[in-house]
Amino acid sequence: MNSSQQSLLRKLPGVDHVLELWKKSQIAEDIPRVVLVRSIQSALEQLRKRILAEDKALDEAMFSEGQLLHLTQLAVDKAMSYNLKRVVNATGVVIHTNLGRSLLPESVARHVAEITNRYSNLEFDLEKGQRGSRYSCIEGILCEISGAEAAIVVNNNAGAVFLSLETLANGKEVIVSRGELVEIGGSFRIPDVMARSSAKLVEVGTTNRTHLPDYERAIGAETGLLLKAHTSNYKIIGFTAEVSLRELVELAARYRLPVMEDLGSGNFIDLSKYGLMKEPTVQETVSAGVDVVTFSGDKMLGGPQAGIILGKKDIIERIKKNPINRALRIDKMTLSALEATLHLYRDESLAISTIPTLRMLTMPVKEILSKARRLRNRLRKMGNNRMEVVLTKSSSRVGGGALPLQELSTRCVGIRIKGMSANGIEAIMRKTTPPIIGRIENDLFVMDMRTVQDEEIDIISSIFKKILAEE
Ligand SMILES: *Cc1c(COP(=O)(O)O)cnc(C)c1O
């Protein structure tokens, strides 16, 4: 350490000194003392590190009252803001697991707020005046929409699959096609879940082709269940064959075995009417005679995180009584959000227009283009000659491990700023308030307008205005 470093370190004020400055300035009134002290410590620690690193830009002026208050204020702002915050999803991935999957419809968010800051009849039967079932509020509507006999909801679909396997196949063999041994993100793999639920996996067929006799040959005294898993995030194409759910149900009936399907995403509306690829709906799966079907609440359904289990009455009863069910149980936030979301499904056009996930998935290119033009015009009006704003054509993705081959034609607003790389712009946008998460395409920072909400056009423009002003 040289002498100027030593002298700077000696002059670095102590925590108490800065605390006094804050008290005098009277801006600290509503900041909790622990936060203030920690922020001051962190500001002083930054200065200390810069001295030790021989930061040439650092001199005694940095210890001025104004600078010390400024540095502390930055640390206070950081400490006082929530870590979980809203972001603008300009990635074009509609069901973006990293960005919170589905947005709740307005009416749903209102209902959640109404239920969660008040008491409710969560487990109270208002008719009888006694303890009621937590699931009674959604079982009826789930059965109404899907045609299933009974329903239960748990924390997420991974939990739903686990609980169903643990109940139905505990210790017994479960037959699955080799083409369906799916791994979805976050270490959820069918074979591993199976092992943990103490079911014994029996693989049949090959990766690309599995036939009905493959299943039949594998059935024996130890068989407990036939399982079909939706290959959500991959497709086997070319020379392929799979056994339909209906055929599997017929086979299982002959041997008095149950059939379960993990639908993964699961939707109540056939979106092929709106130009998307055909996927089996929950209603079709139920009417094929499946004993149990599981799917997520926050993928194509567009509701809260949840794992929905539908099926035959006796089987759902057994699942409800499984003690593990208690460990996977959902709270009133999920229940209120799910019930309100399901209500929207009683009217298909209402569902498509009010559930953000469905609205974004079925949004006509014309509408996306008009949003893109509005943002482009706003940004061009700023008249910054270092910034170039263009419209580009691209593809959005469904996300959530659903419809991996689906191309969704879209329009983006691309940004180029002189003297800055696309990666540089991307990094800056990630740190604004709120952060704007875009993507990089052909060396251009692009914002896919399919997933940018109408009111976010204003937010994005004012953020660019601020950034360009600071430059
Ligand atoms: C997404 C998915 C799951 C897990 O669902 P979560 O709700 O994320 O727990 C399980 N199986 C399949 C086939 C999936 O696509």
Distance CA 234, CA 250 (A): 27
Residue type at 133? Answer: S
Distance CA 437, CA 428 (A): 10
Percentage with pLDDT > 70 across the chain: 99
Identify the H or E element spanning 22. Answer: helix 15-25
The burial class, CB within 10 Å (0-12 / 13-18 / 19+), for 431 is exposed
8 and 25 share a domain? yes
On whether residue 324 sits in a domain, the answer given is yes
Tell how far the Cα of 381 is from the centroid of ligand 1, in angstroms. Answer: 44
How crowded is residue 201: how many other Cβ atoms within 10 Å of its Cβ?
A: 18
Give the per-residue pLDDT at 426.
97
Domain stop point among 303, 338, 354 = 354
Mean pLDDT taken over the chain = 93
Does residue 28 surpass a pLDDT of 70?
no
Determine which of 90-104, 225-239, 270-284, 448-462 has the lowest per-residue pLDDT on average. Answer: 225-239
Distance CA 83, CA 44 (A): 23
On whether residue 68 sits in a domain, the answer given is yes
pLDDT, tens only, 310-328 = 999 999 999 999 999 999 9
- Over 54-72, what HEC string results? CCCCCCHHHHCHHHHHHHH
Stronger pLDDT, 392 or 32, i.e. the higher one: 392
Give the per-residue pLDDT at 349.
97
Stronger pLDDT, 73 or 232, i.e. the higher one: 73
Distance CA 337, CA 107 (A): 9
CATH number at residue 371: 3.90.1150.180
Structural domain harbouring 31: 3-80
450 touches ligand 1 (CB under 6 Å): no
Mean pLDDT (whole number) for 125-137: 95
Tell how far the Cα of 341 is from the centroid of ligand 1, in angstroms. Answer: 19
Of ligand 1's listed atoms, the one at least distance from the Cα of 161 is 10
Residue from 453, 458, 464 nearest 99 by CA: 453
> Taking a C-beta distance cutoff of 8 angstroms, is the pair 257, 215 a contact?
no
> Taking a C-beta distance cutoff of 8 angstroms, is the pair 99, 91 a contact?
yes
Domain stop point among 290, 321, 354 = 354
Residue from 169, 179, 185, 186 nearest 204 by CA: 179
Distance CA 100, CA 88 (A): 11
348 and 375 share a domain? no
Residue type at 301? Answer: L
Domain stop point among 354, 383, 414 = 354
294 and 194 share a domain? yes
Does residue 186 surpass a pLDDT of 80?
no
Question: Per the structure, how many domains does the chain have?
Answer: 3
> Taking a C-beta distance cutoff of 8 angstroms, is the pair 369, 411 a contact?
yes
249 and 394 share a domain? no
The residue nearest atom 7 of ligand 1, judged by CA position, is 157
Residue from 292, 410, 434, 310 nearest 361 by CA: 410
158 touches ligand 1 (CB under 6 Å): yes
Distance CA 154, CA 142 (A): 14
> Taking a C-beta distance cutoff of 8 angstroms, is the pair 434, 85 a contact?
yes
180 and 327 share a domain? yes
Q: What is the CA radius of gyration of the chain?
A: 28
Tell how far the Cα of 247 is from the centroid of ligand 1, in angstroms. Answer: 24
156 touches ligand 1 (CB under 6 Å): yes
pTM of the shown model:
0.92
176 touches ligand 1 (CB under 6 Å): no
392 and 331 share a domain? no
382 and 401 share a domain? yes
Distance CA 378, CA 358 (A): 28
Length of the chain: 471
The burial class, CB within 10 Å (0-12 / 13-18 / 19+), for 117 is exposed
296 touches ligand 1 (CB under 6 Å): yes
302 and 161 share a domain? yes
Mean pLDDT (whole number) for 65-85: 91
On whether residue 101 sits in a domain, the answer given is no
Distance CA 241, CA 195 (A): 26
Tell how far the Cα of 402 is from the centroid of ligand 1, in angstroms. Answer: 10
Give the per-residue pLDDT at 138.
96
Does residue 413 surpass a pLDDT of 80?
yes
Ligand 1 pocket mutation pick from 96, 228, 262 by most atoms within 8 angstroms of CB: 262
Distance CA 199, CA 237 (A): 29
pLDDT, tens only, 231-243 = 877 888 888 888 9
For the record, the structure tokens of 109 come out as 């968010």
437 and 296 share a domain? no
188 touches ligand 1 (CB under 6 Å): yes
On whether residue 76 sits in a domain, the answer given is yes
401 touches ligand 1 (CB under 6 Å): yes
166 and 230 share a domain? yes
The residue nearest atom 13 of ligand 1, judged by CA position, is 264
Distance CA 277, CA 269 (A): 12
pLDDT, tens only, 93-119 = 999 999 999 999 999 999 999 999 999
On whether residue 229 sits in a domain, the answer given is yes
The residue nearest atom 6 of ligand 1, judged by CA position, is 157
On whether residue 223 sits in a domain, the answer given is yes
Distance CA 335, CA 108 (A): 11
Identify the H or E element spanning 45. Answer: helix 33-52
413 and 347 share a domain? no
Identify the H or E element spanning 80. Answer: helix 65-80
Residue 192 binned pLDDT confidence (cut-offs 50, 70, 90): confident
Distance CA 205, CA 92 (A): 37
> Taking a C-beta distance cutoff of 8 angstroms, is the pair 425, 435 a contact?
no
Give the per-residue pLDDT at 155.
97
Distances (CA, A) of 204 to 209, 255, 414: 10, 17, 48
Does residue 43 surpass a pLDDT of 80?
yes
346 and 405 share a domain? no
